[in-house]
Amino acid sequence: MSATEASAAHRPRPSLIATLRIALPVIAGLILLAVIASALTGMFNNARVRAAATKPIEMIAPRLIGEDSKQRPFVITAATAQREDETNRIRLNNPVLIRDQDGPDQMRVNAKQGLYDESAGKLELTGDVHMTTRQGEFTSPTAIYDSKTGEIVGRGEIQAAGSGGEQLKAGSVELKNKGDTVTYKGGVHTRLNVK
């Protein structure tokens, strides 16, 4: 074999060169598309994770426990709750407040909705608020419970039934001094049942 024959044998074939000239740019383009697709997928996943992180935290059957300034324990429960972002407020669905359970100052309050502000110590109740104390029962459209003092104020059309059977309507009601002081205001109408 002569030198020219050996050189011709080692020369790349024209069909292989033509194939590589097309295949290599196509492979490079596919790699570039894969890198771009991976970057876009990561960007969308990060956006989804950020969106999930900004949703309020939802709690099932939460239980908040505390004590008022008169050392009476209270418990706030609800069907569900959501903590608001960047605040100490908790939105409650079907909240129930029980203060001093089985004690002399027992009070039970339930409503459709509630908003508990932990830093202020206030529970705002709305929607068919029903309060039961040792003095009787009260219904009101809204009420505010101050967990620091243990006082509650009901506003709106108050319907009350006393432990002695008396009935009362008023614009607002305030329970103070461990429930010993009950004050009705605003168009008070009373019906006493004499026995």
Cα–Cα distance, 132 to 138 (Å, whole number): 6
Is the predicted pLDDT of residue 114 greater than 90, yes or no? yes
Reference 111, options 99, 95, 122, 97; nearest CA is: 95
Is the predicted pLDDT of residue 161 greater than 60, yes or no? yes
What pLDDT, on a 0 to 100 scale, did the predictor assign at position 3? Answer: 58
Worst-scoring range by mean pLDDT, 5-14, 81-90, 107-116?
5-14
- Two tokens at 60? 């099932």
Q: Which long-range contacts (CB under 8 A, 24 or more apart) does 186-194 make?
A: 190/166, 191/166, 191/167, 192/166, 193/164, 193/165, 193/166, 193/167
Q: How confident is the model at residue 35 (pLDDT cuts 50, 70, 90)?
A: very high
Is the predicted pLDDT of residue 9 greater than 60, yes or no? no
What number does CATH give the domain 58-191? 2.60.450.10
Give the three-state DSSP class for 170: strand
If you write DSSP's letter for every residue of 95-146 in order, what string do you get? -EEEESTTSTT-EEEE-SEEEEETTTTEEEEEEEEEEEETTEEEEEEEEEEE
What pLDDT, on a 0 to 100 scale, did the predictor assign at position 31? Answer: 93
What pLDDT, on a 0 to 100 scale, did the predictor assign at position 33? Answer: 92
Is the predicted pLDDT of residue 4 greater than 80, yes or no? no
Which of 49-63, 84-98, 149-163 reaches the highest mean pLDDT?
84-98
What pLDDT, on a 0 to 100 scale, did the predictor assign at position 78? Answer: 93
What pLDDT, on a 0 to 100 scale, did the predictor assign at position 5? Answer: 60
What pLDDT, on a 0 to 100 scale, did the predictor assign at position 11? Answer: 61
152 contacts 132 by C-beta, under 8 angstroms:
no
Domain extents for the chain? 3-54, 58-191
Reference 88, options 52, 118, 48; nearest CA is: 118
Between 169 and 176, residue with greater pLDDT: 169
Cα–Cα distance, 91 to 128 (Å, whole number): 16
Q: Is the pTM of this model over 0.75?
A: no
For the segment 142-170, the average pLDDT, to the nearest whole number, is 83
Q: How confident is the model at residue 12 (pLDDT cuts 50, 70, 90)?
A: low
Between 186 and 52, residue with greater pLDDT: 186
Q: Report percent pLDDT > 90 for the chain.
A: 22
